């Protein structure tokens, strides 16, 4: 399996998964348009603001040691710039913590340092855990930042398979950081991807021809896509044992737009449609009934560009967006609560990025 190529990002608000948003249940959002819902757009915005602000205040009070973003800076070397220094974690309290045991550069299949390639890394959606390959033995570990505990992966899952480098490995943590997806980019696409439960050490497997799209908020389902022999796109949901629970050859409006998200029911999907640089729409899709919901316009500033989307356990959505200046230089990141019934949004977090970054990651 090969994960889609995306910018490596960074950022976090406090407790994204705990933010309660309006919009009814996920199933209702699939079939009820904004014009048909019993909640007016104005009322939805008021409730959205109230619930989001309350959740953000609660999360902030207890989230001082959560990860905001992870980064490596760049330094000048002659006429070029190169990555320098260790991975650094910026916390929600503003403090920077150096991750001195994490590999910055990838190791080759023979264990040699490759300074032309970065070692993979990932942060859980709640900002509590980070997964990386560590320096002493080249093994994959998951660190709980607040508690300082390091979780070991079982057996051979802690290292790339024979013949693969670390750059052939893509990592994704579930929102609570208790499950890690390990995706191998072997040339033939035959190696299965692994779903490792850090609590039970149980390992589920997914076929290597699937493209991983993300976890549900509770981490109990994963969303995948594949291109069929008839050049159509099939989305499927799987449980942690690798059993398929839902699948559908989806309409073009679902296949050709992103970001996309799967809800806890393993059926409800949401996606952003970029109508233009300044106009965004949201649609929902039911993976079981093959039903596309009516679109709603997303109300957000014109200089914000959607990057990632996620359902909350309560049936709302959170949207990460990138901010650029007039010359299209990336300057910052914003997290918004998004109502799936109306498209109304409210800002949860927003911050500027350092100007000397070589590489960086967001939670989730």
According to the model, what pLDDT value does residue 286 have? Answer: 97
Q: Give the pLDDT mean for 200-211.
A: 95
According to the model, what pLDDT value does residue 52 have? Answer: 52
According to the model, what pLDDT value does residue 9 have? Answer: 30
Say if 9 falls within a structural domain.
no
80-133 residue pLDDT tens: 899 999 999 999 888 999 999 999 999 999 999 999 999 999 999 999 999 999
According to the model, what pLDDT value does residue 187 have? Answer: 82
Q: Give the pLDDT mean for 189-195.
A: 93
What are the DSSP calls for 66-107, one per residue? SEEEEEEEEEEETTEEEEEEEEEEEETTS-EEEETTB-SEEE
- Cα–Cα distances in angstroms (integers) from residue 347 to residues 22, 52, 102, 322, in the given order: 14, 9, 32, 13
Say if 219 falls within a structural domain.
yes
Token reading at 73:
């800076």
We report the CATH number of the domain holding residue 73 as: 2.120.10
- 17 vs 332: which has the higher pLDDT: 332
Say if 5 falls within a structural domain.
no
Determine the Cα angle at 196 with ends 192 and 197, to 5°.
155
- Cα end-to-end distance, the chain, whole Å: 19
Determine the Cα angle at 163 with ends 162 and 165, to 5°.
100
Q: Which helix (H) or strand (E) holds 30?
A: helix 26-31
According to the model, what pLDDT value does residue 326 have? Answer: 85
Say if 2 falls within a structural domain.
no
122-167 residue pLDDT tens: 999 999 999 999 998 999 999 999 888 999 999 999 999 999 999 9
**Domains held by the chain: number:** 1
Say if 248 falls within a structural domain.
yes
Cβ–Cβ contacts within 10 Å for residue 60, how many? 17
User: Looking at residue 318, what DSSP letter applies?
Assistant: E
According to the model, what pLDDT value does residue 32 have? Answer: 31
pLDDT over 50 at 195, yes or no:
yes
According to the model, what pLDDT value does residue 63 have? Answer: 53
39-66 residue pLDDT tens: 344 444 444 544 454 345 434 434 578 9
Residue listed under structure tokens 């073009």: 252
Q: Give the pLDDT mean for 182-188.
A: 90
Residue of 220, 230, 190 whose CA lies nearest to 207: 190
Say if 3 falls within a structural domain.
no
Say if 7 falls within a structural domain.
no
244-303 residue pLDDT tens: 999 999 999 999 999 999 999 999 999 999 998 889 999 999 999 999 999 999 999 988
Cβ–Cβ contacts within 10 Å for residue 36, how many? 9
According to the model, what pLDDT value does residue 59 have? Answer: 45
pLDDT over 70 at 10, yes or no:
no
pLDDT over 90 at 240, yes or no:
yes
Say if 69 falls within a structural domain.
yes
Dist CA 339 CA 259 (whole Å): 16
State phi, psi for 233 to the nearest 5 degrees: -110, 125
pLDDT over 50 at 179, yes or no:
yes
* 113: containing domain: 16-361
Dist CA 151 CA 154 (whole Å): 10
How much of the chain exceeds pLDDT 70, in percent? Answer: 83
Summary mean pLDDT of the chain? 85
pLDDT over 70 at 189, yes or no:
yes
208-236 residue pLDDT tens: 999 999 999 999 999 999 999 999 999 99
Token reading at 221:
């389902």
């Amino acid at each position: 399996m090969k994960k889609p190529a995306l910018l490596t990002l960074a950022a976090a608000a406090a407790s994204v998964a705990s933010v309660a948003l309006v919009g009814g249940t996920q199933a209702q959002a699939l079939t009820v348009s904004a014009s048909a819902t019993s909640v007016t757009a104005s009322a939805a915005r008021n409730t959205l603001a109230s619930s989001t602000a309350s959740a953000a205040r609660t999360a902030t009070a207890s989230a001082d040691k959560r990860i905001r973003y992870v980064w490596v800076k760049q330094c000048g070397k002659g006429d070029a710039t190169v990555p320098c220094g260790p991975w650094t974690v910026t916390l929600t309290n503003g403090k920077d913590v150096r991750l001195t045991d994490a590999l910055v550069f990838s190791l080759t299949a023979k264990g040699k340092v490759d300074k032309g390639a970065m070692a993979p890394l990932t942060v859980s959606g709640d900002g509590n855990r980070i997964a990386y390959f560590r320096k002493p033995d080249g093994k994959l570990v998951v660190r709980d930042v607040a508690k300082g505990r390091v979780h070991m992966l079982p057996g051979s899952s802690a290292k790339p398979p024979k013949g693969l480098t670390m750059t052939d490995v893509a990592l994704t943590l579930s929102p609570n950081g208790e499950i890690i997806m390990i995706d191998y980019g072997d040339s033939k696409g035959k190696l299965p991807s692994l779903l490792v439960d850090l609590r039970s050490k149980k390992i589920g497997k997914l076929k290597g021809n699937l493209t991983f799209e993300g976890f549900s908020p509770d981490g109990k389902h994963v969303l995948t896509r594949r291109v069929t022999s008839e050049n159509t796109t099939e989305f499927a949901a799987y449980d942690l044992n690798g059993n398929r629970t839902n699948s559908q050859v989806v309409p073009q409006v679902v296949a050709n737009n992103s970001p996309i998200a799967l809800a806890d029911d393993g059926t409800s999907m949401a996606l952003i449609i970029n109508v233009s640089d300044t106009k965004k729409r949201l649609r929902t899709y039911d993976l079981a009934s093959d039903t596309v919901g009516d679109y709603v316009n997303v109300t957000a500033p014109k200089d914000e560009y959607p990057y990632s989307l996620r359902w909350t356990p309560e049936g709302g959505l959170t949207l990460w967006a990138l901010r650029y200046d007039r010359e299209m230089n990336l300057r910052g990141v914003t997290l918004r609560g998004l109502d799936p019934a109306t498209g109304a949004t409210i800002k949860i977090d927003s911050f500027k990025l350092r100007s000397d970054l070589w590489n960086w990651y967001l939670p989730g």
